[in-house]
Structure 1
């Protein structure tokens, strides 16, 4: 039996009992429910990156995709594209992980999510102390790795990796390497 921790109210509570349409990504930003159709670039990048990460994690953590995470504000409910959960993390009474369980978050940017991924999520993830935040941008053909979060909502270090080069995720006590040569750039898919 998995131990559970007590939790505070969650932004996701407003969706309890609501049937959501398939094929849409649902998140809560600044108290507003945002639904966006899932994009092909995003899906192909997740399909390429997730198995690479999962294989390297072995028994030292877990990877999730599009799974609700509880953050310390009832105004934000995010289900990151890819989330690396720290080893030994415990689910709360809702059966969800909380922000302090996250070792890394990877978000694939689309035209409709640029403001969220580069500003709002960037700020919230840094304030929450998420050690590694990666923005994968098919339009620019690059991944930006942010490290050293601050309580003021910024990251102290960032590195840009063009598609085609190895993306290194510096986790606690280990690195995960993701080959990006299979990541499609905007315009690659017809």
Structure 2
């Protein structure tokens, strides 16, 4: 008799077979994203520099890339945000599969790529349900940045859209005062 493969086992197999790809389980569905392009990577590097200049080290908070976030949306669900701000003791909240409990996340950020629809819909619901206080989407597909805050159940109470030529301040719940430049986020330029 053959063993039925669970969704978690399928995700693990894909992670092994597709090195460099990001495998996630969102609302019971496996998603696979290819490696990021150069502009995507430069945007993330620039964001880390912005947080460092804002004094994130002095607060004890950590800015991390590609760290798993265990989701309450399903028994095997997890996401891997491009960038996150987490509590100083986040390592104590390890759940499994290199994922951490959502209560240690102050902010999740995604830079859209081929899976842009998940970043704009599914992850909004998942991160809100997980209680992540702030979710930022650098939406390269639609040339804008979305800022979600104040989660309630599976939605955020506030969403603001930021267009090119503007800057915006992250909510204080992130834990460090950071102003972001939309053009730099979208272009990945210094």
TM-score range, shorter chain: 0.7 to 0.9
| 1:96 CA drift (Å) | 4.1
Distance 1:102 1:139 in 2: 26
Q: Greater helix share, 1 or 2? A: 2
Aligned positions of 1:80-99 closer than 5 A: 80-89=81-90, 90-92=92-94, 94=96, 96-99=99-102
Q: CA offsets per residue over residues 158-189 of structure 1, 9 Å max, x none?
A: 11222443232113354222334333459x9x
Structure-2 change in CA distance of 1:75 and 1:141 (3 Å) = same
Distance 1:144 1:12 in 2: 33
Q: How many residues get paired?
A: 176
| 1:93 CA drift (Å) | 5.8
Aligned positions of 1:8-157 closer than 5 A: 15=12, 19-40=16-37, 41-56=39-54, 57-60=56-59, 61-72=61-72, 73-89=74-90, 90-92=92-94, 94=96, 96-110=99-113, 112-151=114-153, 153-157=154-158
Distance 1:87 1:171 in 2: 17
Distance 1:92 1:23 in 2: 22
Structure 2 residue matching 1:133: 3-state secondary structure: strand
Structure-2 change in CA distance of 1:171 and 1:88 (3 Å) = farther
Q: Which consecutive unaligned segments of at least 5 residues does structure 1 have?
A: 1-10
Distance 2:110 2:49 in 1: 16
Worse overlay, 166-175 or 135-144: 166-175
Distance 1:12 1:160 in 2: 38
Q: Which consecutive unaligned segments of at least 5 residues does structure 2 have?
A: 1-7
Q: CA offsets per residue over residues 7-49 of structure 1, 9 Å max, x none?
A: xxxx589628x63533322211233332221232422321221
| 1:141 CA drift (Å) | 2.2
Distance 2:70 2:142 in 1: 30
Structure 2 residue matching 1:80: 3-state secondary structure: coil
Q: CA offsets per residue over residues 24-76 of structure 1, 9 Å max, x none?
A: 22211233332221232422321221221244211321111112222233242
TM value normalised by structure 1 = 0.77
Distance 1:33 1:134 in 2: 22
